[in-house]
Amino acid sequence: MKKVVKFGGSSLADSEQFKKAAAIIRAEDSRVYAVPSAPGKRFSGDRKVTDLLLDAYAAAADGKSFDGILGKIEARYKEICEGLGIGDFDLGSDFAEIAGSLKENPKRDFTASRGEYLNGKILARCLGWEFIDAKDVIFFDEDGRFDPEKTNSVLKARLDKTPQAVIPGFYGCAADGSVKTFSRGGSDITGSIVARAANADVYENWTDVSGFMVADPRIVNDPQSIDVITYRELRELSYMGASVLHEEAIFPVRKAGIPINIRNTNDPAAPGTWIVESTAHQPKFTITGIAGKKDFCSVLISKALMNSEIGFYERVANAFADNGISIEHMPSGIDTMTVVVHESEFLEKEQRVISELNRRCHPDNIEIDSDLALIAVVGRGMKNTRGTAGRIFSALAHAHVNVRMIDQGSSELNIIIAVANDDFETAIRAIYDIFVTTQL
Ligand code: ASP
């Protein structure tokens, strides 16, 4: 058994958290490769080290002094090292290098990456493991995109020679040899890349929650957790705003058939959530999860006999695409179709799109509706359960929520419902209650 463990920023925010992470790693011999984030927030209102580094970069790029910010960052690492009993571990030359680069030629990605780099060095020292700089093993191509195959072969060869190692998250090497970061939260991607190259049995992703919840805890009080979720279900939920893991983190491990186990550093005994390719494991409830987003508009286009008109859909889609607006959903009726778009993208171009639609499609009528929220009810169990949609709609009717639109994905993995923005929270609670609370 071989495991790759990734620890998020809150799991390494200070020396106390660091100790918990180290104890988790030491608790199992199978945990052989560790991927740290930079120190995160220690309390609400605190700043992440990555944000402080970006502040230092912004100050330097503006020609302002960054010494105060760098001092704060240095103090955070000093506390970590002293708390871990390795106060003699000297990071002075690393800080001199960061300061030197900020002074002479400030580089955003290099600066932002130092949070992970320093945490990686400390964790390696604390565990007595080898430190592998991500810059030597993770690569981006000429277009700035992550290069999975080059990375996999170089990293695999390196790990084959290194039985235990710490590889910092979040960054790698650009085609010109400079440091380049992934988007924010990108250490999740590094963990996944390392798990694939190591051919690990499990990718453990340690964070500050015990896995995924059936619904957003800010909306539903103390929601149930999800034991097992498939990659496809997760994609649907994260697309609709549920976030625990970086969206791109599933691709490397999914390709290699490695499950991800989301775990809680502050509650290591909790089993967390398993993310798997497919499973015979029956979900606890008919639905796996509910997620949603506010602020959409719908454009209802009516035209008699539209479905016998060749190319009608394409002309509609192009009226949006040519104005740079991405289409979220497109449910259709016999003589009607609805295009759902993000309000923020649509509003300023609204009249241009309408005149394009009139010019290209000659519809009988166009109606716009705004302030809509979309809710996705996701579950692999829905396909084989009768009456799921019926239960959703009767729950919403009982909660006095008017359903403005329905779209069932062809995968039968999700049902998407549009409601007024103001009904969003009520609708999510009603759906949660009918599928979860009443089943407990
Ligand atoms: N430290 C980086 C960030 O805050 C990357 C990560 O934590 O995954 O986005």
pLDDT tens digit string along 213-243? Answer: 999 999 999 999 999 999 989 988 887 877 7
Name residue, tokens 């963990």: 191
CA distances (Å), origin 176, targets 104, 116, 146, 180, 279? 19, 21, 13, 10, 43
Is pLDDT larger for residue 281 or for residue 112? 112
**d(CA 29, ligand 1 centre) in Å:** 27
What does DSSP say about strands 365-378 and 289-302: parallel, antiparallel, or unpaired? antiparallel
185 in contact with ligand 1, CB cutoff 6 A: yes
Cβ(9) to ligand 1 under 6 A?
yes
Does any ligand 1 atom lie closer than 6 A to the CB of residue 168?
no
pLDDT > 90: percent of the chain: 84
d(CA 58, CA 65): 10
Residues 81-107, mean pLDDT to the nearest whole number: 96
What is the C-alpha separation between 381 and 395, in angstroms, rounded? 19
Phi, psi of 172 (to 5 degrees): -155, -155
Indicate whether 186 pLDDT > 70: yes
Whether the predicted pLDDT of 413 surpasses 90: no
Task: Specify the pLDDT at position 242.
Answer: 74
Contact 330, 408 (CB under 8 A): no
Q: C-alpha 78: how far from its chain's center?
A: 30
pLDDT range class, residue 247, cuts 50, 70, 90: confident
Per residue in 348-369, pLDDT (tens digit) is 999 999 999 999 999 999 999 9
Q: What is the mean pLDDT of residues 150-163?
A: 98
**Closest approach atom of ligand 1 to CA 170:** 5
SS3 403: coil
pLDDT at 354: 95
Judge whether 349 and 358 are in contact, CB under 8 Å.
no
Residue 332 — very low, low, confident or very high, per pLDDT cuts 50/70/90? Answer: confident
Q: Ligand 1 centre from 185 Cα, in Å?
A: 4
Please tell me if the CB atom of residue 38 comes closer than 6 angstroms to any atom of ligand 1.
Answer: yes
State the amino acid at position 70 in one-letter form: L
C-alpha 359 to ligand 1 mean position (Å):
47
The Cα 378–Cα 150 span in angstroms is 36
Give yes or no for a contact between 315 and 382, defined as CB atoms under 8 angstroms apart: no
Mean pLDDT of 41-49: 96
Average pLDDT over residues 67-90: 96
Say how far apart CA 33 and CA 200 lie, in whole Å: 9
- Structure confidence at residue 279 (pLDDT): 85
Residue 94: which pLDDT band, with cuts at 50, 70 and 90?
A: very high
| CB 186 near ligand 1, within 6 Å | yes
Q: What are the φ and ψ backbone dihedral angles of 10, each rounded to 5 degrees?
A: -70, -25
Interatomic CA distance for residues 15 and 113, integer angstroms: 20
| Candidate of 37, 118, 247 to mutate for ligand 1, largest count of ligand atoms within 8 Å of Cβ | 37
Q: pLDDT (tens digit, 9 = 90+) per residue, 305-329?
A: 988 889 999 999 999 999 999 998 8
3-state secondary structure of 339: strand
Q: Decide whether any atom of ligand 1 lies within 6 Å of the 184 Cβ.
A: yes
**What residue type is assigned to position 370 of the chain?**
S
Q: Does 410 have pLDDT greater than 70?
A: no
Range name among 84-88, 222-226, 308-312, 417-421 with the lowest pLDDT average:
308-312
* CA–CA separation, 17 and 132 (whole Å): 22
With the C-alpha atoms ordered 419, 421, 422, 427, is the resulting torsion angle positive or negative? positive
Is the pTM above the cut of 0.85?
A: yes
Q: How many Å lie between the centroid of ligand 1 and the Cα of residue 249?
A: 13
pLDDT value at 411 more than 80: no
Over the stretch 117-155, which tens digit does the pLDDT of each residue have? 999 999 999 999 999 999 999 999 999 999 999 999 999
On the question of pLDDT at 174 being above 80, the answer is yes
Assign residue 398 a region: left if phi > 0, alpha if psi is -120 to 50, beta otherwise? Answer: alpha
Give the pairing of strands 405-408 and 414-420. antiparallel
Distance between Cα 122 and ligand 1 center (Å): 17
What is the model's pLDDT at position 210? 85
